[in-house]
């Protein structure tokens, strides 16, 4: 038997598997990420992360962990920090990514039409990272208070999933939102187009009137999503803690962008500037929920 029964069964149901798989590459990445935690342990500003102990019988220990803990009795105990622990944040991301992927597929199957939109803003140059994330959240709150927009937003015909992402530029972590919109089967195309353009206009208007922002009239980037694009879409949305690993170990991209790239860059090169960028991210991302499903999204499941 070659498993053709099960594949045709899933084919009929049109179910795509988004479960996490323990492949050799995934195990290699799990090992590398623990080696990074060991490099970080002495430097992190988050005390829970310095005490995180993600070793159980499934994983071999990096050399640094063996040396560090050889004389102590320790128990498997993850810190569960969702932003600043290289191990636990990736576990949280994997779970959120899995939920997002299955739920997105389910809504699309029910006739919801997927779109994306990027909510970014120009900040006053002197505004620090923490001020930028607070300002961006403030703009999002203000957007929710505009009637023309919320009238539609509050119906169960509009669902959204929002990702808060940071990019590092000239010593400042600058945030933006990626929003996935799902528009219900009953919504006409004209209403969808209006919704997206009203969102863009109101956002720019709130931005222009915010003391921490620089005005812009540029239309927000937006577009239609291919209903079959769940996997590349999820990869794109959940890239903050992504780590590329090949048979030789961590693969660093030429230009570092994500928090994880800076942390992995430090573990690889011991470059102090990379560590500084990461520690700066630890502080900036405190209490930030990087992934948010709208109430209607979860209520509709
Ligand atoms: Zn942890």
| 70 Cα to the center of ligand 1, angstroms | 20
Q: What pTM does this model have?
A: 0.90
| 37 Cα to the center of ligand 1, angstroms | 8
| 84 Cα to the center of ligand 1, angstroms | 8
| 51 Cα to the center of ligand 1, angstroms | 8
Q: What is the pLDDT of residues 120-165, one digit of tens each?
A: 999 999 999 999 999 999 999 999 998 878 887 777 789 999 999 9
Measured CA to CA, the distance from residue 187 to residue 157 in angstroms comes to 7
Among residues 186, 193, 257, the alpha carbon closest in space to that of 222 is found at 193
| 82 Cα to the center of ligand 1, angstroms | 8
Mean of the pLDDT values across residues 95-123? 96
Q: Where do we find the tokens 């607070």?
A: 134
At 17, is the pLDDT very low, low, confident or very high (cuts 50, 70, 90)? Answer: confident
Measured CA to CA, the distance from residue 269 to residue 241 in angstroms comes to 18
Measured CA to CA, the distance from residue 100 to residue 52 in angstroms comes to 27
Q: What pLDDT, on a 0 to 100 scale, did the predictor assign at position 16? A: 81
Q: What is the pLDDT of residues 250-276, one digit of tens each?
A: 898 888 999 999 999 999 999 999 999
Q: What percent of the chain has pLDDT over 90?
A: 72
- On whether residue 79 sits in a domain, the answer given is no
pLDDT at 18 over 70: yes
- On whether residue 260 sits in a domain, the answer given is yes
| 291 Cα to the center of ligand 1, angstroms | 18
| 49 Cα to the center of ligand 1, angstroms | 5
- On whether residue 80 sits in a domain, the answer given is no
Other Cβ atoms closer than 10 A to 90:
21
| 94 Cα to the center of ligand 1, angstroms | 14
Q: What pLDDT, on a 0 to 100 scale, did the predictor assign at position 39? A: 95
- On whether residue 90 sits in a domain, the answer given is no
pLDDT at 19 over 50: yes
- On whether residue 114 sits in a domain, the answer given is yes
Mean of the pLDDT values across residues 26-40? 92
- On whether residue 104 sits in a domain, the answer given is yes
Domain count, the chain: 1
At 14, is the pLDDT very low, low, confident or very high (cuts 50, 70, 90)? Answer: low
What is the extent of the structural domain holding 180?
A: 95-299
Q: What pLDDT, on a 0 to 100 scale, did the predictor assign at position 2? A: 39
Q: What is the pLDDT of residues 49-103, one digit of tens each?
A: 999 999 877 778 899 988 888 766 667 789 999 999 999 999 999 999 999 999 9
pLDDT at 31 over 80: yes
Q: What pLDDT, on a 0 to 100 scale, did the predictor assign at position 187? A: 93
| 287 Cα to the center of ligand 1, angstroms | 15
Residues with Cβ < 8 Å from 10, sequence gap 6 or more?
17
Q: What pLDDT, on a 0 to 100 scale, did the predictor assign at position 74? A: 66
Residues with Cβ < 8 Å from 145, sequence gap 6 or more?
none
- On whether residue 6 sits in a domain, the answer given is no
| 270 Cα to the center of ligand 1, angstroms | 21
Please state, in angstroms and as integers, the Cα–Cα distance from residue 32 to each residue in 141, 244, 251, following that order.
39, 10, 11
Please state, in angstroms and as integers, the Cα–Cα distance from residue 119 to each residue in 34, 131, 216, 219, following that order.
34, 17, 12, 10
At 106, is the pLDDT very low, low, confident or very high (cuts 50, 70, 90)? Answer: very high
| 23 Cα to the center of ligand 1, angstroms | 22
| Mean pLDDT estimate for the chain | 90
| 247 Cα to the center of ligand 1, angstroms | 25
Q: What pLDDT, on a 0 to 100 scale, did the predictor assign at position 68? A: 84
Measured CA to CA, the distance from residue 262 to residue 276 in angstroms comes to 9
Q: Does 8 or 239 have the greater pLDDT score?
A: 239
At 228, is the pLDDT very low, low, confident or very high (cuts 50, 70, 90)? Answer: confident
Mean of the pLDDT values across residues 281-293? 96
Q: Does 15 or 34 have the greater pLDDT score?
A: 34
- On whether residue 115 sits in a domain, the answer given is yes
| 83 Cα to the center of ligand 1, angstroms | 9
């Amino acid at each position: 038997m070659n498993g053709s029964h099960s594949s045709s069964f899933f084919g009929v149901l049109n179910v795509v598997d988004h479960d996490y798989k323990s492949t050799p590459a995934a195990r290699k990445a799990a090992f590398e990420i623990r080696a990074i935690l060991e490099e970080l342990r002495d430097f992190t500003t988050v005390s829970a992360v310095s005490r995180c102990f993600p070793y159980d019988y499934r994983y071999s220990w990096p050399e640094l962990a063996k040396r560090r803990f050889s004389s102590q009795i320790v128990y498997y105990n993850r810190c569960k920090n969702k932003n600043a622990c290289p191990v636990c944040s990736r576990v949280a991301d994997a779970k959120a990514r899995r939920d997002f992927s299955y739920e997105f597929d389910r809504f699309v199957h029910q006739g919801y039409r997927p779109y994306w939109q990027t909510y970014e803003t120009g900040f006053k140059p002197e505004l620090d990272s923490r001020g930028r994330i607070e300002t961006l959240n403030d703009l999002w709150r203000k957007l929710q208070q505009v009637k023309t927009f919320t009238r539609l937003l509050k119906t169960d015909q509009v669902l959204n999933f929002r990702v808060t992402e940071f990019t590092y530029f000239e010593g400042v972590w600058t945030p933006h939102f990626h929003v996935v919109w799902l528009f219900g089967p009953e919504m006409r195309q004209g209403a969808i187009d209006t919704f997206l353009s009203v969102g863009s206009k109101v956002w720019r208007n709130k931005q222009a009137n915010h003391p921490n922002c620089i005005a812009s009239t540029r239309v927000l980037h937006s577009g239609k999503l291919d209903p079959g694009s769940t996997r590349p879409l999820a990869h794109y949305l959940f890239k903050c803690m992504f780590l590329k690993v090949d048979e030789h170990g961590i693969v660093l991209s030429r230009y570092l962008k994500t928090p994880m790239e800076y942390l992995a860059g430090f573990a690889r090169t011991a470059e102090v500037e990379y560590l500084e960028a990461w520690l700066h991210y630890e502080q900036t991302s405190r209490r930030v929920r990087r992934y948010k499903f709208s109430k209607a999204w979860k209520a509709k499941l």
